[in-house]
Every structure is written in structure tokens, then in C-alpha cells.
Amino acid sequence: MNEHMINLSDEGRKGWLEGQVAIVTGGSGGIGKAIVDRFISEGAKVCIFDLAVSGNGKVRENVLSVRGDVSSYKDNLACVDETVSHFGRLDIFVGNAGIYDGSVTLVDLPEDRMDQAFDEVFSINVKGYLLGAKAALPHLVRSRGSMIFTVSNSGFYTGGGGPIYTASKHAVVGLIRELAFELAPVVRVNGVAPSGTVTNLRGPKAFGQDAAPFFDPGTSWDERITGSKPLAIFPSAVDHTGAYLLLASRENSSTMTGEIIRSDGGLGVRGLNAVSGGTKLSELFDSNAEDG
């Protein structure tokens, strides 16, 4: 069990999501899988909605797997219907499925594949969230539930992707705010904005980026991602799950809607002359402790 997970039987307490039911899109790997595991450890039943799952409709240990395309409204409806049929309700919709654009800049965008790449990225990263929200809404109204969407540091800052990906994540920020307004006071809508993370994130077929993940550890990404953050961390997927758990919990985030938790290692407080100002603190205080 990961150190971030909580063994409910050992702790002798109810989980934050006890008795609740969630759908997590893109839940078969990366951040999505980590969310699924964390939600289950907190007492929830979860449906994984993903093209990558096998055994469609199979239930195991409070997990339902539904194979489908998030960019299809029909598939989203089928997922919601199957989830409610198996578990009896729906409390949380997590729109998480997404693809990257490989940081291909405007200058380097291939003219013959721009349209296809744009449609691929926006169909999954933006339309997929909108369609899932639409399909889940009636049941979330009944349960007074919530929606949570995965954004990115690219929803706020430049240079974390190319123009296609960055635009798609800025669009997700707008979607969260609009839905939070439209659905209040009945359904809460929030987001989590992770930074570059060790996941299986891939890019569009139009760029030939669908075969291998971008953010493997032990590559040049280590230095680029770790060195860009005040907290100097190259996070794993599980490092972000506490933010999703907080937003999913009625008890612990009942006053929050339209909010986006930036789980990005402190990108918003980077300095001009240095990424962070406390790099010598450990050396200073460790030295003082030894001297004492």
C-alpha cells in the first residue's frame, strides 16, 4: 500500500468518501488510476471509464470497468447508466482523460496535420469533459454531488505545452468556472491542476505521439520538471490525489466551488533570479544542529 493510502480497517475510521460512487475518466493509468485507488481506500465505489480497460462491465472489489470513448456522448451516457445500474447512485464525476501535444510550437506545427491534432486534443481534453458533465448531471443533482476536472499548470502558465495543449487547458479552466456558476447551489464543480508528472500521458496520433509516454523518470524530463519548481519535485501520480479527495468530500469542501487547486510544486511563486529562495536552509540548520 502506498504511504499516501489509508488502511481503513487498521485506522478504525470511516473514509472521507464512505458509501459514495464516482466515475473517473482515464482511470486505467497515471493520475486517473491513482485517483481510483485513493477513492477506494476512502470507502468509495468507482467506475473506470477508459478506452484502455478490458473486461467491459466487470465488477471487482468495488470497481466497475467500462470501455468507451470520452469524446462520444453516447459512450458517456452508457457509462453513467451502467455505473448507476451497478452501484445505485452517482456522487462524483472526475473528468481526467487527456492527451498532450508534445510541446510542438506554432512554428513547428505541420501544416498538413494541424487540424487533425487540434481536433484530437480538444475532443478529449475539452469536449470529453463537457459530454461527461452533461451525462452525469441528472444523477449528480439527485445526490447533490460534485464534478472535478483535471486541468494542468498549462491552464495558467505558458511554456508547459504547445499552443494546442495550452489552449485546451485554458478552456478547461473556463469550463469549470462556467459550470460552477450554472450548477450552483446544487452541484459543486472544481478542478486540480497538476504539473508534469510521472504518468503514461501521450500525444495525438496526428503527431505520431500516441505510442509512448512523455514523462518517464530517468530522462531529460527529470531535470526540466524538478528544476522548474520551488519545491524541486518530479511528482508521481499519487502525489496529487489528496487534492481530488478533498474536493470530492462533501464534509471537507462543502464551501468550495469554481476553485482549482494548483498541485504544481509552487510554480506560482517562482522567483526572478532563482526558482526558490530556501535552497540552503537544510544545510544551514543541519550545520547548526551538529555544532550544538
236: helix, strand or coil = strand
Q: Which of 181, 161, 152 has the alpha carbon at shortest distance from 106?
A: 161
7: CB partners within 8 A, 6+ apart: 1, 41
Respond yes or no: is residue 165 known to be catalytic: yes
Q: Which three-class secondary structure string do you get for 256-274?
A: CCCCEEEECCCHHHCCCCC
**d(C-alpha 245, C-alpha 269), whole Å:** 24
Are 1 and 25 in contact, with CB atoms under 8 Å apart?
A: no
For residue 46, the cross-strand partners are: 22, 63
For residue 45, the cross-strand partners are: 21
70-to-62, 84, 125, 135 alpha-carbon distances in Å: 22, 18, 9, 11
Start-to-end Cα distance in the chain: 39
**d(C-alpha 292, C-alpha 277), whole Å:** 25
Which residue of the set 100, 129, 157, 165 is catalytic?
A: 165
Residues annotated as catalytic (active site), given as ranges: 165
